[in-house]
């Protein structure tokens, strides 16, 4: 089945230690998104790619970076995780902007 | 800062009850309103993407309405079943491309058998 896959499902990292979360898709969608969801809050868009074009949200901290080496893969890099970065990170795709989004199951990040 | 609000925050109903929740969003600069269903330990799943004022969409026992002039959408579930237990999220898409979704915090529905 075509899908959005996130690895790992659970990630523990140490304060200040760089961490990378990965997302892959078999849908061949043009757009890939990264959301952060802190406990019981609304998912918040960090950035998205339309093909290779990167679109950062104005309030996304510089600590968060992203790479999309090809259509199928997108990575979220957190350069120096702080305790406040502990959250669920959701990856999503859509065929075009404005269309329904297909989500992965998320990676829950713990920072110790 | 865009304000997308959902009510109630949580809801417990008995199997067979019909229920509804509300999503309110800005009435200006509207592109689309999305509804997603998120079961525990699974991926959020799209229910509806609604674009036109007065839109009504239906998928099985679930339906939704949209009022863009006053900035609200209702989601209805007829004859709730335990498998409907999930968090229901709405998301506002504004601007010219609808690429940025602003989510509400969701309504957590529990259907008791």
Q: Using CA atoms, how far apart are residues B33 and B71, in angstroms rounded to an integer?
A: 10
Over 80: is that where the pLDDT of A1 sits? no
What average pLDDT score do residues A53-73 get?
Answer: 96
List of residues 6+ apart from A56 with CB closer than 8 A: A46, A47
Q: Using CA atoms, how far apart are residues B59 and A53, in angstroms rounded to an integer?
A: 34
CB contact under 8 A, A48 and B97: no
Nearest to B94 by CA among B86, B85, B103: B103
Q: Tell me if chain A has a CB within 8 Å of the CB of B5.
A: no
Query: pLDDT-derived band of residue A89, with 50, 70 and 90 as boundaries?
Result: very high
Over 90: is that where the pLDDT of B1 sits? no
Tokens, residue A78: 């957190």
Q: Using CA atoms, how far apart are residues A21 and A69, in angstroms rounded to an integer?
A: 14
Q: Using CA atoms, how far apart are residues B91 and B99, in angstroms rounded to an integer?
A: 11
Q: Tell me if chain A has a CB within 8 Å of the CB of B106.
A: yes
Query: pLDDT-derived band of residue A108, with 50, 70 and 90 as boundaries?
Result: very high
What is the tens place of the pLDDT at every residue in A17-46? 999 999 999 999 999 999 999 988 999 999
CA distance A13 to chain B (A): 21
Phi first, then psi, for residue A99 (nearest 5°) are: -90, 170
What is the tens place of the pLDDT at every residue in B88-112? 999 999 988 888 999 999 999 999 9
The pLDDT assigned to A2 comes to 64
Q: Tell me if chain B has a CB within 8 Å of the CB of A39.
A: no
| Minimal Cβ distance to A98: which of B44, B98, B106 | B98
The pLDDT assigned to A40 comes to 83
Contacts of A90 in chain B (CB under 8 A): 44
The pLDDT assigned to B95 comes to 86
What is the tens place of the pLDDT at every residue in B31-42? 999 999 999 989
What average pLDDT score do residues A46-55 get?
Answer: 96
The pLDDT assigned to A68 comes to 98
The pLDDT assigned to A107 comes to 97
CB contact under 8 A, A42 and B106: yes
* B 14-33 residues with CB < 8 A to A: 31-32
Cα–Cα distance list, B7 to A44, A71, B27 (Å) = 19, 37, 17
Mean pLDDT, chain A, as a whole number? 95
% of chain A beyond a pLDDT of 90 = 94
What average pLDDT score do residues B58-67 get?
Answer: 97
């Amino acid at each position: 089945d075509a899908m959005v896959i996130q690895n790992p499902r659970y990630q523990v990292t140490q304060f200040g230690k760089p961490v990378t979360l990965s997302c892959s898709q078999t849908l061949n969608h043009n757009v890939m998104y990264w959301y952060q969801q802190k406990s019981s809050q609304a998912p918040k868009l960090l950035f998205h790619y339309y093909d290779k074009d990167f679109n950062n949200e104005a309030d996304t901290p510089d600590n968060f970076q992203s790479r999309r080496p090809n259509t199928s893969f997108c990575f979220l890099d957190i350069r120096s995780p702080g305790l406040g970065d502990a959250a669920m990170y959701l990856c999503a795709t859509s065929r075009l902007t404005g269309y329904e989004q297909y989500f992965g199951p998320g990676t829950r990040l713990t920072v110790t | 800062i865009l304000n997308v609000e959902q009510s109630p925050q949580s809801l417990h109903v008995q199997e067979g009850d019909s229920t509804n929740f509300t999503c309110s969003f800005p009435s200006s600069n509207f592109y689309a309103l999305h509804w997603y269903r998120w079961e525990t330990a699974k991926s959020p799943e799209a229910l509806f993407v609604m674009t036109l004022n007065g839109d009504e969409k239906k998928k099985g026992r679930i339906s939704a309405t949209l009022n863009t002039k006053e900035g609200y959408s209702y989601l209805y579930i007829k004859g709730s079943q335990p498998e409907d237990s999930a968090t229901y999220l709405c998301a506002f898409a504004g601007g010219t491309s609808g690429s940025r979704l602003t989510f509400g915090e969701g309504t957590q529905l529990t259907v008791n058998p």
